């Protein structure tokens, strides 16, 4: 339903140009939650604003159901924008309007029929669990309630695509959880698609079907969430999965020992496999780093280990791991 093709955007700065987004391409299917994760300054927000043409890319195409938003006439673009809702980290609510009035804003803007707009607004407030607070002003709502209100407003025109820019970044973990559950429910109920920008791996793994990792304006890796957690190809992706900051690196070989990266889909089966391998093949295994992630439907683990001992025995150990469903790669 959405196809972003070779989109680039640069901003003029003092000494030249800042390439915020460079040649980014991806597709989002109907009902898909597509996550884009990246560090601050990676270009995520710029890319998201390009999707609904709030920001005009320098080059590229934004195809929405096959129509290029960037070459459309203003009137047609306005119509298309109805089908694209947006939510933000800072909620962007109007403080002098109450909850219901905030939800009604898009209908006013698009001159929708008043009765139908009211009906839809009340339905959306119900959906996000804020019916009782419809007369409350944003100042009197909690962060989670403000975001739910913003979601109700984003959905009031029945969009087919929702763009989310760090919608949960300002919220505590429990509230984040609530909002993610709400977004999942919305996708299930209305079959819309979400492009979800986040710097939180937690968010990506919990809700996304597909994840892209963005760095310095480009998507360095993208794929189904399962593959990204099990066999991340890029160092930066692995470091994000390990929860490392920008300054930290994944374990690298020391003492001339080889570091192996193990991936498993069923963590529970792993520890006996490793201890058995140690006993059976008389090798030493030293665990350097790792973690287990609960994805939408499964657990996936990644472990960095050194394995040393007799070369033939190390080879047998690796074969044993493979036989037991643990994938491994030499970590450079
Ligand atoms: N209007 C602008 N003019 C000049 N530079 C800009 C403009 N908007 C963004 N940038 C620059 O483009 C780069 C990407 O910014 P962007 O806001 O897209 O990053 P981001 O990934 O969303 O970061 P964050 O996680 O901090 O929100 C940054 O270096 C930023 O300073
Ligand atoms: Mg941003």
* Cβ of 18 below 6 Å from ligand 1: yes
Residue 158: phi and psi, rounded to 5, are: 55, 55
| Ligand 1 contact, 43 CB (< 6 A) | yes
Please, what sign has the CA dihedral across residues 63, 65, 66, 70?
Answer: negative
Q: Which of 224, 250, 283 is the C-terminal boundary of a domain?
A: 224
Q: Are 103 and 181 found together in one domain?
A: yes
Span 64-115, pLDDT tens digits: 999 999 999 999 998 898 899 999 998 899 999 999 999 999 988 888 888 9
In a domain, 143, yes or no: yes
Which residues, including other chains, have CB under 8 Å from residue 58's CB and lie 6 or more apart?
8, 9, 10
For the chain, how many helices (H) and strands (E)?
A: 11, 14
CA neighbor of 163 nearest in space, from 155, 174, 172:
155
The pLDDT tens digits for 222-242 are 999 989 998 899 988 888 888
> Per-residue pLDDT tens for 148-205?
999 999 999 999 999 999 999 888 999 999 999 999 999 999 999 999 999 888 888 8
Which of 224, 241, 269 is where one domain is finished? Answer: 224
Q: Are residues 76 and 26 in the same domain?
A: yes
* Cβ(41) – ligand 1 distance below 6 Å: yes
* Residues 164 and 282 occupy one common structural domain: no
Is there a single domain that holds both residue 57 and residue 141? Answer: yes
- Strands 210-215 and 59-64, sheet pairing: unpaired
- Cα dist from 166 to 7, 239, 328, whole Å: 21, 20, 34
Tokens 């059976």, residue located: 280
Whether residue 246 lies inside any domain: the answer is: no
State the residue range of the domain holding 138.
2-224
CA of 41 to the centre of ligand 1 (A): 5
Atom of ligand 1 nearest to the CA of 214: 21
Q: What are phi and psi of 230, to 5 degrees?
A: -85, -45
Inside any domain, residue 230 = no
Same domain? For 66 and 209 the reply is yes
C-beta 11 within 6 A of ligand 1: yes
Strand, helix or coil at 167? coil
Which CATH number fits the domain that encloses residue 212?
3.40.50.300
- Give the pLDDT score at 76: 92
Cα distances from 148 to residues 87, 101, 211, 251, in angstroms, run 10, 14, 24, 40
pTM: 0.90
Only one residue has tokens 């096959």, namely 66
Which atom of ligand 1 approaches the CA of 42 most closely? 21
* Atom 6, ligand 1: residue with shortest CA distance: 11
DSSP assignment of 88-140: ETT----TTS-HHHHHHHHHHHTT--HHHHHHHHHHHHHHTT-GGGTT--GGG
**Residue whose C-alpha is closest to residue 196's, from 318, 69, 28:** 28
User: 267 and 159, same structural domain?
Assistant: no
Reading the block at residue 310, the tokens are 């007799």
**How many domains would you assign to the chain?**
2
The protein residue with its alpha carbon nearest to ligand 1, atom 25, reads 40
DSSP 8-state secondary structure symbol assigned to residue 219: E
Is the CB of 45 inside a 6 Å radius of any atom of ligand 1?
yes
Domain boundary, last residue among 224, 251, 271: 224
User: 36 with 125, same domain?
Assistant: yes
8 A C-beta contact, residue 137 and residue 95? yes
Same domain, residue pair 7 and 138: yes
Claim to verify: residue 196 and residue 275 sit in the same structural domain:
no
């Amino acid at each position: 339903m959405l196809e972003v093709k070779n989109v680039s955007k640069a901003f003029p700065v003092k000494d030249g140009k800042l390439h915020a987004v460079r040649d980014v391409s991806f597709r989002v299917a109907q009902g898909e939650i597509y996550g884009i994760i990246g560090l601050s300054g990676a270009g995520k927000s710029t890319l998201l604003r390009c999707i609904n043409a709030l920001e005009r890319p320098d080059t590229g195409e934004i195809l929405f159901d096959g129509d290029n938003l960037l070459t459309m006439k203003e009137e047609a673009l306005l119509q298309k924008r109805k089908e694209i809702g947006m939510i933000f980290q800072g909620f962007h609510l109007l403080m002098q309007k109450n909850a219901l009035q905030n939800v009604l804003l898009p209908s006013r803007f698009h001159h929708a029929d008043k009765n139908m707009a009211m009906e839809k607004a009340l339905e959306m407030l119900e959906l996000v669990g804020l019916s009782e607070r419809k007369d409350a002003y944003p100042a009197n709502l909690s962060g989670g309630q403000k975001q739910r209100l913003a979601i109700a407003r984003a959905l009031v025109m029945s969009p087919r695509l929702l763009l989310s820019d760090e919608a949960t970044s300002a919220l505590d973990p429990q509230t984040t959880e609530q909002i993610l559950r709400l977004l999942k429910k919305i996708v299930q109920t209305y079959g819309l698609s979400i492009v979800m920008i986040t710097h939180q791996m937690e968010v990506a793994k919990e809700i996304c079907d597909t994840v892209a990792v963005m760095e310095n304006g480009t998507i360095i890796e993208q794929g189904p969430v399962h593959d990204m957690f099990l066999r991340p190809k890029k160092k930066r992706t692995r470091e994000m999965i390990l929860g490392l900051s920008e300054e930290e690196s994944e374990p690298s070989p020391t003492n001339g020992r080889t570091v192996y990266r193990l991936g498993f889909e069923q963590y529970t089966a792993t520890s006996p496999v490793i201890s058995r391998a140690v006993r059976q093949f008389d090798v030493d295994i030293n665990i350097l780093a790792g973690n287990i992630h609960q994805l939408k439907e499964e657990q996936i683990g990644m472990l960095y280990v050194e394995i040393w001992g007799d070369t033939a025995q190390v080879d047998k150990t690796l074969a044993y791991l493979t036989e037991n469903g643990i994938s491994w790669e030499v970590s450079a």
